[in-house]
Amino acid sequence: MKLILAITLVFGLFSLGKAQTKPEEPSKAPVWTEADRKYLVENLIRSKEEILAETKNLTKEQWNFKESPDRWSINQIVEHLCLWEIITMNDVSSALRMGPLAEFTHYLPDSLFIDKDPKRLEKNLTTEFTKPFTYGVPLGNNDGKNNIIWYTTLTNESIDYLKSTRDNIRIHYICFGPNIHQRYMMFFQHCFRHLGQIREVKKHPKYPK
């Protein structure tokens, strides 16, 4: 009898403790809004238009001018953007194939993906991000105008996708890190940084006129 009373008492205290514990609030999955869509589309369009403006009517000498042997030409910069757009599109396709993860709760804030150095005060090495490979380094073997066609074709595909998709791209994740919205944030900011690099090349005293 004493054993039964003890068990009953323990069970009662346990039940009381559970009743007094506030149930956990269900985590709300992030939602991709029309304002988000507009933000990505407008910035992709703006970065594309500025790159087209900066490279319009360049001569072969201007396309291939380098500030020094270890620096990239405008031709190589545009090729590099094409390479990174392919990487971005592969990430997006992979995240869509994985399917939405509405139950995933470790999502990251957009603030982590805002460029802290938009004016290129700190120069980055591509190979630091691609170790042990060099796939982000442009070879410079393509004609500059063909790189522009390549770049605009890819960017237009991304713009068309973002304009038309009904997916909640904030619950599609790249390797459980950034979501698709944030991946596109990274891409257009990357374009703006390299626009700064193109303008630096054109300001060089020896840049062909």
- Per-residue pLDDT reduced to its tens digit, 41-68: 999 999 999 999 999 999 999 999 999 9
Domain 29-203 sits in CATH at 1.20.120.450
Is there a cis peptide before residue 69, judged by omega within 30 degrees of 0? no
Kindly give the interhelix angle for 180-203 and 144-164, rounded to the nearest 10 degrees: 150
pLDDT exceeds cutoff 70 at 33: yes
How do the domains of the chain map onto residue ranges? 29-203
pLDDT, residue 73, reads: 97
pLDDT exceeds cutoff 60 at 21: no
Q: How many residues does the chain have?
A: 209
Torsion sign over Cα 183, 187, 189, 193: positive
CA 150, 193, 80: angle at the middle one, nearest 5?
30
State pLDDT tens for residues 117-130.
776 656 778 888 88
State pLDDT tens for residues 62-90.
999 999 999 999 999 999 999 999 999 99
pLDDT exceeds cutoff 80 at 192: yes
pLDDT, residue 203, reads: 97
